[in-house]
Each structure stands twice: as C-alpha cells, then as structure tokens.
Homo-oligomer: A and B are copies of this chain.
Amino acid sequence: MSFAAASAALDAAFPGRIDRGQAVRDQHGAGDSWHPVAPPDAVFQPVSTEEVAQAVRICAAHGCPIVPFGAGSCIEGQVNATQGGLCLDLSRMDRILRLSAPDMDVTVEAGLTRQRLNEDLRATGLFLPIDIGAHATLGGMASTRASGTMTVRHGTMADLVMGLTVVLPDGEVIRTGGRARKSASGYDLTHLFVGSEGTLGVITELTLRLTGIPEAAKAGLYSFADLQAATDTVVEALQFGLCLNRIELMDALQMRAINAFNGTDLPEMPTLLVDLTGSAAQVDTDRATFAALAQDHGATVHPVDTPEAYAHVWALRHSALYAARGLRPGASSLSTDVCVPVSDLPGLVAGITATLQAEGLVAPMHGHVGDGNFHLVMLFDPADAEEMARVQRVHGELVHRALALGGTATGEHGVGLGKKPYMEAEHGAALALMKRLKVAVDPQNLMNPGKIFDI
C-alpha cells in the first residue's frame, strides 16, 4: 500500500489539485536543516478541515502515508517524507476564525504564521508571546512544541494552546480542550497532540491564549568573565521574581561571530542579554536590580537606553544563528538544543567545550538560559563524512550528559529524524508506552511514519 494506491481516488476527489511536480515535491521534502531531502509522492493544499479529513480518509483507505507540512521551517527532518506518501501543506489554511479581546484568546487555522497573527492582532493590544527564530506556522509550532526566547515568562506552545481541532488518522475530526482557562475534564488530549509532530493526526485549528502588549520594555546587556558568573546571576534573578521576559546567553565565540557578522565591537566574553517588560516603573526598578546582581558577579554593564538601542541589541541576538554560520561560509550546521536544570548549565557547557576542542570543531553557543536551554551551532562540511561523524559524536555526548542531569535531548526543536537515536536513553520504559499510544491512535502507521520513533 502506498501513494500509488490512493492516487486515482485523490485526483477524483480534488481534480487538478494533487501536485506531482518534482520542484514542488522537493521543496516539500525537507525543512531548514542538514537532513537529506526526502520528497513526498505528491503535495495537496487543503483549504478546510473537511478537505483535510477527506484526503486523510482516502489515504487511510489505501494505506498511503501522510506528512503534514506548515512552513517547512523545522530543523530535525520532521517534514521529510522518508516513506513517500501525500504531503498535506496547510499554508492556505491561514485565517483567524474568532477573536475575543476581553478573554484574550483566539482561534486560528493551522497554516497561519506566528508573525501574521501578531501583525493582525496589533490593533487589539494583544499578542501571542512566543518568539522563535523561524518563520513558522502555528500548527507546526504546536506540533513540535516550539518555545523560543519568551518561555521564561510565558511558557511554550504547550502552555498557550487551549484547544485543537485534529483530523485523526482515520479521517475523524475531533475537538480537544476549549476556551476555558483550565479544565479537569478527562484525558488531556490537547497536550497529547502538541509535540506529537504529526504522528497522531493533523492539527487543523488551534485556540490560543494571548497576552497584553506590555506598557514598557527595556533591555540590559552584560559581559561576564565566565559562564558560571552569568548563570549565577540568572539563578538569583529568577528567584527574585523580576519581570524578565527574555534572558539570553551567548558565549565568547558567539559574540565574536556576532561582531564579525554585524560589524560591532562588543566584548567577546560570555554575555547576557535580558528583556524586562511590565509597567514603566517596574521595568526600571527590576532592571536596576538585575544590573546590581550582575555587577555583584563581576559583570560589565553596557548601556541600552533608547528604543533604537533596544531594537539594535535584539537584532544582534536574532542574528546569532546566521552569524554562527558565517564563521565558516558554505558549511552546514547542526544546532543542538538540550535543556537542563539552569544551575547545571555551566558545568555541562564546560564539559562539552572540552570535547569540542579535542574534536577540533567550531560551535558557538547561544541559548535561553532562563530555561536551561541552549544551542551549540556545530559547523561542518556535509561532504566530509568523517567531520560529520565527529559532529554526531559530540551531539551524542552532549545529549547523554544532559540526560544524566535530568535534562532532555531537545528543549524546542523536537525529535523528527535527528533525535530518534536518543529516545530510548531519555525515556526508557516510557518509550514503549508512547509506541503503544501511537498504535492505538494510528494502527496503520500512516501519520508521518518514522518520526520520533519507529514502530
């Protein structure tokens, strides 16, 4: 059973809309990563939940794999159609279906991007407080449990998705959760689908929790002698309960990359960039407190006092990935994303830095230190199998070190193909339960097969 079996029925149901062109298939066969392109057999762009359900029913009847696709910004191979099948590209499902400003919630179609949602919301004074680097769809962000820089204040997609519409692998449409701020009513299906990377069904609609655009926002930029001093400052600031919206850490190499990429001359030392939001008075008070904590740990405080300076430092931070890649033009990159208890971060980074040096690899580090989540951007020549093996070896060591600290292989990028090798080590006997759930929901293994784990 395969796409071939479903092909005629799909054409009959959606005349002229099942795209088999090689360029379109290739474009849908990979995200933004080093994983080899694996094109689907065809691409379909549904415009409604009912069309998704109809396509899924046809695929289910003929045993055709289904790969949901949003913006293709994933970096662990989540959309790569390694077993072929039909790619369901949801990007045309991009409407806001309902908005309640008083209740600060919104229902959208899964193909709407985060940027578009926040642009459309601007007049309401509300926004979705998720800040990630990628230009992703909200359905994709829910599917991979995306988070980014504002998690320390607002949580991840898991915290902001209130409810979903999902097309199950047999084509049945269900609704999970709802508009209540909390519920104790039965099993939490919403959280089961969030982070399931399209392996349990197709998310077609989401109800999301919004927050008010704050009155004031100010940044602080601090250079430290070492990562330990920076992390200690963060631990203390979190315990004080300061109005921190973002706490980003960059190591000395990352700062060198940022300087080279942007033509700046910031100290090439471990650096914290923080964002404080709230009332104007609170922001000023808490920024002064943060600066005092940082100075107690020997930090140099850099002035960031105008809206222009604020925009500038955050633009520098958002350039981190491209700046890192710029250290070795033409190279591929593997961006790790382990997440550990915050206090364990300096020791973990010190350990892995020694390994990186021993392996002769270049890997600047930036991360969401408030959550204990950081990225090493390991640069390598994709044509050099030996170097690639070294990169994978260091990645494996990093993951196992993180797991030994009670952490996770992936804080926000998801598993896809790239983290599959670590699932047994991370979850142990619980991995068998995940597989049992997958079989219960998708007995034919048609939904994004081969992602997260193999059956």
Contacts and interface: CB of A to CB of B under 8 A. Distances in A.
Interface of A: 100, 102-105, 125, 144-147, 151, 155-156, 158-159, 168, 172-176, 178-189, 191-192, 194-196, 200, 211-212, 214-215, 235, 238-241, 278-279, 281-282, 285-286, 337, 339-344, 370-373, 402, 405-415, 419, 422-423, 426-431, 433-434, 436-441, 452-453
B174 A433 contact: yes
9 contacts: A147-B182, A184-B415, A185-B419, A186-B434, A188-B195, A211-B241, A212-B240, A215-B241, A282-B282
A188 B192 contact: yes
Count of identical protomers in the assembly:
2
A182 B433 contact: no
Contacts of A339: 180-183
A230 to B, nearest CB: 14
B410 A185 contact: yes
Contact of A100 (B187, B343, B410, B413): B343
Contacts of A279: 241, 282, 285-286
Closest 9 CB pairs of A and B: A179-B406, A191-B191, A440-B440, A183-B408, A102-B343, A180-B339, A103-B341, A174-B430, A145-B184
A212 B241 contact: yes
Nearest to A196: B187
Nearest to A239: B212
B195 A187 contact: yes
A14 to B, nearest CB: 24
Given A158-B182, A178-B407, 9 more contacts: A125-B239, A145-B188, A181-B372, A184-B411, A184-B413, A185-B414, A186-B431, A191-B191, A437-B441
Contacts of A185: 408-410, 414-415, 419, 422-423, 426-427
Given A186-B452, A343-B103, A433-B174, A371 B181 contact: yes
Contact of A433 (B189, B343, B439): B189
B104 A239 contact: yes
A415 B184 CA distance: 7
A441 B430 contact: no
A6 to B, nearest CB: 23
Contacts of A239: 102, 104, 125, 212
Among A146, A155, A189, which residue has the most Cβ atoms of chain B within 10 A? A189
A151 B182 CA distance: 9
Given A187-B196, A195-B188, A103 B342 contact: yes
A117 to B, nearest CB: 18
Contact of A105 (B178, B181, B341): B341
**Listed residue (A144, A239, A423, A431) with the most chain B CB atoms within 10 angstroms of its CB:** A239
Contact of A158 (B168, B188, B373, B410): B188
